A and B are shown apart, each in its own frame.
Chain A
Amino acid sequence: MSGLGGLSVRFRQSGFSVKIPSFLGPSLPYLLFAGAIALVGLWVENFYYLQVLTFIGINTLVALGLNMLMGYAGQISLGHAAFFGIGAYSTAILTVHYGFSPWIGLAGAISIAGLVALVVGLPTLKLSGYYLGMGTLGFGMIVHILFREWTSMTGGASGFVGIPPLSVGNYTFYSPTAYFSLVWGTVLIGVIICRRIIDSRIGRALRSVHDSEAAARAMGIDTHMLKLQVFVLSALFASVAGFLYAHFVTFISPGTFDFLTSVRMVTMVVIGGMASIWGALLGAALLTLLPDWLHTFSEFEMVVYGLILMVVMILLPQGLTRGILDLWEKSKGEDIDIKGESDGDSFR
C-alpha cells in the first residue's frame, strides 16, 4: 500500500508533506538503518562497546518476534527465554557433542524451536489473558529446569563451554566488528520480515485478533491457527537470537534463560512501545544497557532496577516510542499504533 506513486511522509500536526521518489520511498528507513549499522561498525573500535551493541542486536531480534506476538496479535508470553535457550543449547549440543558445523546448528536450532513452539502452542494458545501468561510461564520454567538438570547434554547448572565461533568457508567471525555486523545484518532482515508481515493481509489479521477476536472470527479468520503461526514465528526469532548468542559468548548456562529473562524480554517490548518495530529496538537497547548503568549503584543495583521497571510502567504504560517513532509508522500510510488506552482487556 505504500510506494504507490511515491511515499508521502505526512506530519499530522502541520499537514506538511514531503514527496520522496517512489523507488526509494518504502526502503528509505531500512537504507538509513543499514547505513547507521555500517557507520557504527566502521567507527566503533572499542571492544566493549561493540560487545554491548552486539548484545543489543541479539535482544532486538527476540523483541522483534515477541512484538509480533504481543504488540500485534495481543497474546502474552512469559516463557520466551525458553526459545532463546533452545536456540542456544541446540546449536551448542549439535556443534560440540556431535561435531556438526554451526550452520547445521542453526538449522537444528530453528527446527527444534519451531517444533517445540508448535507442540506447546497448540494447546496453550487456546488460553487467554493471565491463563496464557501462566501457561507460557510454566513451559518456560520446565525448559529452564531441563537445561539445568539434563547434565549429560547441557552441562547442567555449571554451564556449557567451548561453543565454536561462527565461520563461513575460511572466514571466521572472530573480530567483534565482524560479529557486530553479522548480528545487526540479521536484525535488519528481521525488521524487514516484520514490516512486510505487518503490512500484509496477515498483519491486518493479527491486529484484528488483537482488537476484537469475535469480530476477527466473524470475518473468517482462523484465530487459533493465526495465533499459533505468530507464536511459532516469534519462537523462531528467539531461537535465531539464541543461536547468535551461543556462538558469540561461547559459554552458556541455564541462568541466562530463566523466568526473569522472559520477563525482561516482555519488558523490552512493553517499554519500547507495543506494536512498534522501532520500539522493540529501543526497548531492547534500554534493557540491555540498563544493567551496565546500574553497576554504579553496586549493591543497590536490584533495588534501582525494580524501581525503574515499576516507575516506567506506572507513568508510561504505553511505552516510550509513542509519539517520536510513530512518525515512521505513519509514513507507511497506515495507522499502526495500537490504542493502548482503550484496550484494557487486550490480554484477557
Chain B
Amino acid sequence: MEFLQYLFSGITSGAIYAVIAVGFSMLYSATDLINFAHGEFVMLGALCLVTMKAIGMPLPIAFLNAVLIVGLIGLIFERLAIRPVKRPQPIVLVIITVGASIFFRGMAMILWGKDTYSVPPFSDHPPIIISGAALLPQSLWILFIVLAVVACLYLFYQKTLTGKAMQACAISKKAAWLMGIPAKWMVSLSFLLSAAMGAVAGVIIAPITMCSYDMGTMLGLKGFCAAMLGGLGSLWGALLGGFLLGILEAMGVGFFSSSIKDAIAFLLLLFILYVRPGGIIGAVQAKRF
C-alpha cells in the first residue's frame, strides 16, 4: 500500500531530522546560538564512519569513534571560534557559523575528495513486508538508535547533576554562575553533545544515502526547520518537529511531486513562524530541556 510505504520512509527520514533538530535545539537552549555549521557535523559523522569502516573497524567501534571525533571537533570549534567572540551579537554568530560550515565543507573536500561514498546497512536482513509496503531493516535501526539517544539525553537532563546544571545555565547563565555552576564548561559540553548528536544522525543516515562532502547543508537546514516547527529549545518539540517534517515530506513527494520535496520544509517553517512562532510545543508550554 502506497500510504504505508510513504509513512515508513517518512518516519525514517523524520527520525534523522529529529536527531539533527535535537542537537541544534539543545545548543540553542544552552547558548542562544543557532549553529549554521550543525549540518556539517552530520556530514563529518557520515564520512568518518565511511573511513572507519574502510580501515576495517567493526561497526559499533566505528560508530563510537565517529561520534567521539565529531564531538571533539564541536568542542574545539567552540573554543577557537565561538568563545573568543567578545560581544556575541546574533548577526556576527550567524556569519561565524556559516564561515565554519564552509570551512568544514572545504576540509572534507580535501580529505575525502568530491566522490560519493556508501556504507552497507547495519544488518543484512531482507526488507520486512507489511501489507505490501517494504520496511528496510536500516529504518528500524535508525528509529531504534534515535529513540535510544533521545532517551539517554532525557535521562541525562533529568537525572544527573550535570544535566540539571546545563538546564540551569540555559535558563539564566548569571544565576547559574552565582550558584557555582561553571557556565563556560557547560557551554563547551553542550557543543560537544550537540556535535555528537549531529554525528549520530550522519552515522545512521550513511547506509541509506550517498555520503559526500556537501551532504550536510540541506540536512542541517531541514533540521533547523524541524526544531522551529516543534518549538525551538524544546526536546519533545524537536522530536515532534522532526517526525512531522519527515512524514509530511514523504507524503508530499509521494502524492504530489518530488520537485517540491525540499520546499516542504521551508513552507512549513514559514507557516509555523507566521501562525505560532513558538512552535507547536513551545506555544503550549515553553519548556526547555
Contacts and interface: CB of A to CB of B under 8 A. Distances in A.
Contacts of A306: 99-106
Interface string B75-88: 00000010011111
A308 B85 CA distance: 15
A108 interface: no
Interface stretch (A86-94, A122-130, A175-183, A320-328): A122-130
Contacts of B266: 137-139, 141-142, 145
B98 A309 contact: yes
A348 B32 CA distance: 10
B126 to A, nearest CB: 35
Interface residues of A, number: 48
B102 A266 contact: no
A314 B85 contact: yes
Interface in A134-192: 134-135, 137-139, 141-142, 145-146, 149
B57 interface: no
B269 A134 contact: yes
B260 interface: yes
A317 B86 contact: yes
A154 to B, nearest CB: 12
A310 B260 contact: no
B152 to A, nearest CB: 28
A149 B260 CA distance: 8
Interface string B195-222: 0000000000000000000000100010
Interface residue tally of chain B, by bracket? Answer: 35 or more
Interface stretch (A13-21, A217-225, A237-245, A294-302): A294-302
Interface stretch (B63-71, B89-97, B169-177): B89-97
A68 interface: no
A146 B263 CA distance: 8
B134 interface: no
Contacts of A263: 94-95, 98
B110 interface: yes
B274 A145 contact: no
B264 to A, nearest CB: 10
A344 B221 contact: no
Interface of B is mostly: helix
B267 interface: yes
A145 B34 CA distance: 23
B107 interface: yes
B37 to A, nearest CB: 9
A299 B109 CA distance: 8
Contact of A310 (B34, B99, B109, B273): B99
Nearest to A345: B89
Given A149-B260, A303-B106, A76 B91 contact: yes
A270 interface: yes
A70 B90 CA distance: 12
Contact of B89 (A131, A139, A307, A344): A344
A313 B99 CA distance: 9
Given A129-B90, A314-B81, A270 B95 contact: yes
B94 A266 contact: yes
Contacts of A300: 106, 110
B110 A303 contact: yes
B262 A344 contact: no
Contacts of B90: 76, 129-130, 133, 347-348
A266 B259 contact: no
Contacts of B88: 344
Contacts of A299: 109-110
B74 to A, nearest CB: 15
Contacts of A131: 273, 277
B277 A138 contact: no
A305 interface: yes
A190 to B, nearest CB: 22
A298 B259 CA distance: 34
A157 B106 CA distance: 23
Nearest to A139: B270
B273 A145 contact: no
Given A149-B260, A344-B89, A313 B95 contact: yes
B240 interface: no
A145 B91 contact: no
A259 B34 contact: no
B225 interface: yes
A275 interface: no
Contacts of A341: 87
A346 interface: yes
A332 to B, nearest CB: 25
A59 interface: no
B95 A266 contact: yes
B224 interface: yes
* Residue of B98, B100, B225, B274 most packed against chain A (CB within 10 A): B98
Contact of A149 (B84, B104, B259): B259
B192 interface: no
A88 to B, nearest CB: 20
A189 B217 CA distance: 37
B233 to A, nearest CB: 11
Interface in A5-26: none
A117 to B, nearest CB: 14
Contacts of B259: 149
Given A270-B95, A302-B102, A313-B96, 6 more contacts: A135-B270, A259-B221, A267-B95, A309-B95, A310-B81, A344-B87
26 contacts: A76-B91, A124-B273, A124-B274, A130-B34, A130-B232, A138-B266, A139-B270, A141-B262, A141-B266, A142-B267, A149-B263, A263-B94, A299-B109, A301-B106, A302-B103, A303-B103, A303-B106, A306-B102, A309-B99, A310-B99, A313-B95, A313-B99, A314-B85, A344-B88, A344-B89, A348-B90
Rank and list the top 8 A-B pairs by shortest CB-CB distance, nearest first: A302-B106, A306-B103, A309-B99, A306-B102, A303-B106, A310-B99, A138-B269, A138-B266
